[in-house]
Structure 1
Amino acid sequence: MSAPDSLARGVAPAPPGTLHARTVHGGVEVRPRAGLTVRFGRGEEPDVDVCVGEDDLWVSRKHGELTFRERRWWLRNTGRQLLRLPKGRLMHATTEAVPLAEGYTPVFVRGSSYREHLVELYVSGHDEERSPRRRAETLPPKRWSLDDEERLLLVVLGQRYLLYEEGPRPLSYRQAAEQLAYLRPGADWRERRIENRIEAVRKRLHAGGFPYPLTHDRRAGGPSDNLLHNLLRGLVDSTTLVPPDLDLLEDDGG
């Protein structure tokens, strides 16, 4: 739901702030009004306005709600299972409501047996492009500059990400050093040197506006062990690193 279907068909667009909510079972279009609430879940009308996961008992009958206040739609989890938002953000029933940005927001409801049920949300904006752009050139993803050695290091460390494994984690610097010593003998592959090169990449991409956290905020006092994961995930998501890069792991000696 990149935009409401009515926009693509040339129908008069809804006013700014209009909420479009849709699942495989149907949807609603609701114009903004202070205090108005739209509910979704496994239940039936009038308890919910949008049905989701109708055959899944892990989905609560009233699993979430959107309330219009302060000129925005606010999402709250009212169910027993988590809601998952973009960038892996999770919402529990005790999590404070979050405001929806204009445009498209997918929300996933945790279900049984690894199922996830999608609720598509779209909030009409003030300056939307109303005309279809089917013939326009596709915008490429933002790719990040890496030199040859940086790419090799990151492919070794992130090979599980490039295999699109479920829940991938980076190789350790020790494992990377051992594999690099085998693939490119004679070069300096000390663990500390590898770590320093990766740290330099993190700092450079962080300064360039990388979309995932790459530096440790000492004020927050949080753990920093996920910074390499964030780096690899962002490079793969942006197609800076792609599966053909795994060819770098081939032994040059044949």
Structure 2
Amino acid sequence: MASRVSKVSLLPKDIGSLSRTVPPALPGTLFVLGANGGMSVAPDADFLLLFGRNEPDVHVCVGAGDTCVSRRQGMIIRDSSRWVLHNTGKLPIRFPGSRLVLRGDRAQLPTGYTPLFVVSPRQEHLLEVRIAAPAPSSGPGNGVEACGDKTYEQGRRGLSPEERLVLVCLAQRYLRNDPQPQPLTWAQVAFELGELRPAERWSAKRAAHIVANVRKRLSKEDGVPGLLEEEVPQPVGNALNHNLITDLLVTTTITKSDLRKLEE
């Protein structure tokens, strides 16, 4: 019989998004990934996983540097046959969409990939969660989840290669788990893309025009809220781009693995 220690493993911070990358695992295995890495827990490990901003006090760090996030913001524990999220911190935790788990509340976690967001006054901090599903009946039948399982495939937004490049550059602080991420300025985007692809004559105006078209399209065709100036209170500031980036992260349209595009 495997020991408890062997049923709990660390995940490196460079593993990539759990929406696309997950090690083979027995059904019911819990994976949780934060800014500095994460952890996997077997369903029979009898282990309470803690997450929050103070890394020495928790198993998975989220919101490091943001004092609005509690040192121990929450925990995930196995209850009968389900993994359950408990919010023990001050801030609400948001599921994809608008569902909030408030302080003292709990919520069952679904099988598959679930991006969770700790909702701070300044920004939302991503905590990736995945629960391994049984292998398809037509598969090998060894009880191990196939890495190609993509729970949120249908929710991903359609982007052209050019749009994806600009948006990954714009959102790179979010993808790199900056403690207090903000979109890059248009000048910064233009400079970085100009350095990456000097023959394409990148300018701040060109980058802004591409992103504005994406916001308009997703607002009209996908009904994504908060992407148009008339939908957010003044002063607008970075709100439109922040809302766009949040949607792209929640739907796993862009993930950490896309950062490779800025290194090509």
Instruction: Name the TM-score, length of structure 2 as normaliser.
Output: 0.47
Instruction: Name the TM-score, length of structure 1 as normaliser.
Output: 0.49
Question: Which of these two proteins has the greater Rg computed from alpha carbons?
Answer: 1
